[in-house]
Amino acid sequence: MSVIPKKHPPGPPLRAIVLGAGRPDILAEAERLSGDIARHVQIVKTDFTGNEDLSVVDADLAIVLGGDGSILRAARQMGNRQLPVIAVNLGKLGFLANISKSELPTTLSDYQAGLLNIAEHLMFECSLIRDGEVRLKQLGLNEVAVLAGTSFSLININLYVDSELATTYSCDGLIISTPVGSTAHCLSAGGPILRQTMQAFVILPISPHTLTNRPVVDTADHVYEIETPNPNSGASAVADGRLFSQLQPGDRVRVEQSSARFKLITGHGHGYYRTLREKLGWGGQIKFNK
């Protein structure tokens, strides 16, 4: 099931948060774009540290400058209060950051006028369960990966779906990915590409010992648990590219859909297959933004 895009209704000037990585090039570009942004919205907050709690900021939208890494960080900072996001690509591929610098003024104007869609994307909540208790929780957008660690030997991973044992993998790791994350680590590991608005998870073993262990796509209304009975010394769980927790024997990592939804404002002409065609170089070379 896909989510029907919504439009922002026209109204008074919008209040915006401006976000991005703290790299010198991003900061310089933010300074250069500040005039264009201020002509269309009221800037109520800026953060280039990635450390601010944005869930408490009273704003109407977030403008994220950078690449998909900046978007993942912004989604985590916004927590359960996700604002619509205009993502300006200052990085390389940028599957989510699909608005160019030159398109930003028009995008802001069109969004203010209620002419653009807001696509809502599945987010996940992952929990670390140790000794029967939830020890950690984290909201994410791309994927959770359990990795074997630096001993460079296979790890045995039990996968439970709604508390029922689905299978045991002997592999280098296991990825549970959202549709948004299907073009990230999941794609690099040989997984399928899912339309970003689908409500589903990809379950993907990394280099499984049994060649019949293939990727599985299942609906998002299930609860997935990854158990590591005897993890390697360096085994860990990683959420959206950041260490979630080192793993101990018997730990379970639970992955389930969150009530929060990531909200991406899409500009004119930025269709799904156009993005795949241009970003993945279908029929030609991969194109990096300049």
Average pLDDT across each block of 10 residues of the chain; the chain has 290 residues. List them in order.
55 88 92 94 95 95 94 96 95 78 93 92 98 96 94 91 97 97 94 94 95 94 97 94 96 98 86 76 61
Residues 190 and 81 grouped into a single domain: no
Q: Given 3-state DSSP classes, what are the helix, strand and coil percentages for the chain, each rounded to the nearest 5?
A: 20, 40, 40
59 three-state secondary structure: coil
The Cα–Cα gap between 277 and 287 comes to 10
Nearest CA-CA partner of 205 in 160, 145, 257, 161: 145
Q: Using alpha carbons, list the distances in angstroms from residue 225 to 31, 106, 178, 222.
A: 44, 44, 15, 10
Residues 159 and 188 grouped into a single domain: yes
| CATH number of residue 19's parent domain | 3.40.50.10330
Q: Is residue 248 part of a domain?
A: yes
> In this predicted structure, what is the pLDDT of residue 189?
94
186 three-state secondary structure: helix
Residues 144 and 223 grouped into a single domain: yes
Q: Is residue 286 part of a domain?
A: no
Give me the catalytic one of 60, 68, 240, 251.
68
Q: Tell me if residue 68 is catalytic.
A: yes
| CATH number of residue 145's parent domain | 2.60.200.30
> In this predicted structure, what is the pLDDT of residue 211?
84
For residue 55, the enclosing domain spans 6-116+267-279
> In this predicted structure, what is the pLDDT of residue 80?
95
Could you give the number of structural domains in the chain?
Answer: 2
Q: Is residue 287 part of a domain?
A: no
Q: Output DSSP code: residue 74.
A: H
